[in-house]
């Protein structure tokens, strides 16, 4: 029996062309979907099916992706305005007026800005230094308020932050050239010593380079703090080739924007770090997986790789060393979970960004099933300096047991919120007083969200604990290095609700505890923030946190419990009263 529902019709030429242009492989699926969306101003079931046929994939693969990534849409829209719904922007707005829900915010913007734009909420845009922030199509804007809607329409994009002047007490290594060079000029970079590390590296054997990084004690800056040298050693010792390097620039954790600043102020430093990693691991190609919201930075990186190629710092036979290496820039399309390394790899392979089973870990089985080293932008940015100045110098930067410097973000109710670079071992008190300029007038420290959305909510008792990758056990996590300082006006319940709102929106839906647990916890917290808490709510939140922590499939679900548990432990009474 023939299936009468399948009527053969040719693939529309523009879709076939689009698929062919990108190479027609599965890995290009995200690019193809984005392009079709631009072409037709929305995706449809038909266009997704046609794209799947052009890429020789089952339609559900592409439909699954199209509904997974928040930047892809089935609704017709001309221009898109994405309003940041992250905790920092929320705090900025909350301090001005009483709490505004994201739905209210969206409709306020929609009313003001008119129907030329489709307004939607988005999880943290990584523009916390410019909060409150919005994304106008792919242009970053901030600080902008609803009142600025008209100006935004006319092309106003707020004021970018100036990073040329270090704060008092800063120790700048990765940020040393910030604001001092033209980031889009490789001549400027070369004149200021960028790529010296690479030149040093290729004079050594790959093994010596790994040893240097191992000796330096550099730990991964994504949040987990895994020793970088050891990870590279794993990859280099795998016999299978090709091996790959992936730079995780999917900076989607709320509060975190250091990678954006690093890419913006000195993209060549990153290119150099990735190339050194490629040389050390015996890799042939690298991908920078950058979040779709960072279009501006993605273009800057593309430009930088082209420039590096023209100077033979990338491409065939780098600086005559016989080592050939290429770097590609791959844009995400809006999904926090793609910052998890295996989800990132899945996404890079043209699939839904759902985490993989581990083991095997990426150094054994990564991109395309090959040995792959995945590191954070900040990690790669530190590498050239170690190769240039030596491991011992790197260790000497810090008096603390964890060597080197780290990018920190201090946000919220401090006088001078923003980004700075300093050695490890800072206490929260130092972060607030020395680098943040102290609490704003009239504010008293109540708690800090430490590390990111998946970090601890910490109170006064930990103000003097030195912070590093292991201090989470003492109640203050480092995570990716951000601290959102909250004063007495901020309700812990409302803050936790914001965080759960984020996690529920970003859970991939693969495993039951995270999929339903985040949603249920949000439901309870929604009620509590409205003052309609019920008996047993607090216990249920604790139970859900326990469940998600030990039973979830990946780190996202497991770490939702960190802010939940610490907030409940610290502000149990506040929760009980709601």
Residues in contact with another protein by CB under 8 A are 1, 3, 5-6, 45-46, 48-49, 52, 58-64, 66-68, 335, 337, 352, 357, 504-513, 515-520, 523, 543-544, 546-547, 549-553, 558
- Among 31, 12, 5, which Cα is nearest to 348's? 31
Is cis: bond before 239, omega within 30 of 0?
no
Of 77 and 515, CB closest to another protein? 515
Task: In angstroms, give the least distance from the CB of 521 to another protein.
Answer: 11
Of 233 and 501, CB closest to another protein? 501
| Token pair of 574 as six digits | 């506040």
Name 447's bridge partners: 486
Task: In angstroms, give the least distance from the CB of 470 to another protein.
Answer: 14
Displacement of CA 440 from its chain's centroid (Å): 28
Of 117 and 503, CB closest to another protein? 503
State how far the Cα of 94 lies from the Cα of 90, in Å rounded to an integer.
6
Task: In angstroms, give the least distance from the CB of 167 to another protein.
Answer: 37
CB 467 within 8 A of CB 222: no
Of 141 and 343, CB closest to another protein? 343
Distant-in-sequence, close-in-space partners of 499: CB < 8 Å, separation ≥ 6: 87, 254, 449, 453, 563
Of 149 and 338, CB closest to another protein? 338
State how far the Cα of 356 lies from the Cα of 366, in Å rounded to an integer.
10
Of 67 and 284, CB closest to another protein? 67
State how far the Cα of 167 lies from the Cα of 277, in Å rounded to an integer.
31
**H/E element holding 106?**
helix 102-113
State how far the Cα of 143 lies from the Cα of 156, in Å rounded to an integer.
10
Task: In angstroms, give the least distance from the CB of 524 to another protein.
Answer: 9
Distances (CA, A) of 289 to 16, 140, 483, 484, 565: 25, 18, 25, 26, 32
Of 491 and 552, CB closest to another protein? 552
Task: In angstroms, give the least distance from the CB of 62 to another protein.
Answer: 7
Catalogue the E-assigned strands of 436-528: 445-450, 456-458, 482-487
Task: In angstroms, give the least distance from the CB of 558 to another protein.
Answer: 6
- Residue 476's φ and ψ, nearest 5 degrees, are -140, 115
Task: In angstroms, give the least distance from the CB of 493 to another protein.
Answer: 18
SS3 content of the chain, % helix, strand, coil (to 5): 50, 15, 40
Of 61 and 121, CB closest to another protein? 61
**H/E element holding 483?**
strand 482-487
């Amino acid at each position: 029996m023939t299936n009468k529902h399948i009527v053969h019709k040719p693939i529309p030429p523009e879709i076939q062309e689009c698929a062919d242009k990108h190479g027609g492989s599965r890995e290009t699926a995200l690019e193809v979907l984005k392009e079709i969306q631009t072409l037709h101003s929305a995706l449809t079931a038909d266009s997704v099916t046609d794209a799947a046929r052009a890429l020789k994939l089952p339609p559900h693969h592409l439909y699954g992706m199209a509904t997974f990534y928040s930047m892809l849409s089935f609704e017709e829209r001309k221009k898109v305005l994405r309003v940041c719904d992250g905790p920092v922007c929320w705090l900025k707005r909350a301090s001005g007026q009483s709490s505004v829900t994201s739905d209210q915010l969206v409709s306020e913007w929609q009313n003001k800005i008119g129907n030329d734009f489709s307004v939607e909420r988005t999880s943290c845009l990584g523009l916390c230094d410019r909060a409150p922030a919005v994304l106008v199509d792919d242009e970053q804007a901030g600080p902008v308020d609803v009142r600025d809607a008209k100006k935004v329409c006319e092309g106003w994009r707020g004021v970018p932050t100036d990073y040329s002047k270090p704060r008092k007490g800063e120790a700048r290594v990765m940020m040393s050239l910030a604001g001092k060079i033209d980031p889009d000029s490789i001549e400027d970079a070369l004149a200021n010593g960028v790529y010296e590390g690479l030149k040093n590296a290729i004079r050594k054997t790959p093994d010596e380079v790994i040893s240097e990084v191992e000796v330096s004690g550099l730990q991964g800056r994504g949040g987990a703090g895994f020793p970088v040298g050891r990870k590279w050693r794993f990859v280099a010792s795998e016999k299978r080739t090709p091996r790959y390097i992936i730079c995780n620039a999917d900076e989607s954790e709320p509060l975190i924007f250091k990678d954006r600043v690093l890419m913006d102020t000195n993209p060549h430093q990153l290119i150099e770090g990735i190339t050194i990693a490629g040389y050390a691991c015996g890799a042939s190609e690298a991908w920078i997986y950058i979040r779709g919201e960072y279009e501006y930075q993605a273009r800057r990186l593309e430009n930088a790789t082209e420039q590096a190629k023209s100077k033979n710092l990338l491409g065939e036979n780098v600086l005559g060393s016989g080592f050939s290496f290429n770097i590609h820039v791959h844009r995400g399309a809006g999904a926090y979970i793609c910052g998890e390394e295996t989800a990132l790899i899945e996404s890079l392979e043209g699939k839904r960004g759902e985490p993989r089973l581990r083991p095997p870990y990426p150094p054994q089985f990564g991109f395309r099933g090959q040995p792959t080293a995945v590191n954070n932008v900040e990690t790669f940015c530190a590498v050239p300096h170690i190769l240039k100045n030596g491991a011992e110098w790197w260790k000497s930067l810090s008096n603390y047991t964890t060597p080197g410097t780290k990018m920190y973000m201090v946000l919220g109710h401090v006088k001078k919120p923003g980004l700075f670079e300093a050695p490890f071992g800072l206490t929260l008190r130092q972060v607030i007083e020395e680098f943040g300029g102290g609490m704003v007038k009239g504010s008293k420290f109540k708690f800090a969200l430490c590390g990111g959305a998946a970090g601890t909510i910490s109170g006064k008792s930990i103000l003097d604990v030195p912070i590093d990758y292991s201090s989470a056990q003492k109640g203050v996590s480092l995570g990716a290095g951000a601290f959102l300082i909250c004063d007495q006006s901020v309700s812990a319940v409302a803050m936790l609700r914001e965080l759960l709102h984020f996690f529920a929106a970003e859970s991939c839906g693969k495993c039951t505890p995270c999929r339903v647990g985040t949603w249920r916890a949000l439901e309870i917290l929604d009620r509590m923030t409205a003052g309609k808490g019920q008996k047993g709510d607090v216990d249920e939140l604790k139970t859900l946190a326990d469940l998600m922590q030990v039973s979830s499939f990946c780190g996202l679900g497991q770490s939702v419990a960190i802010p939940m548990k610490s907030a409940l432990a610290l502000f149990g009474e506040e929760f009980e009263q709601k």
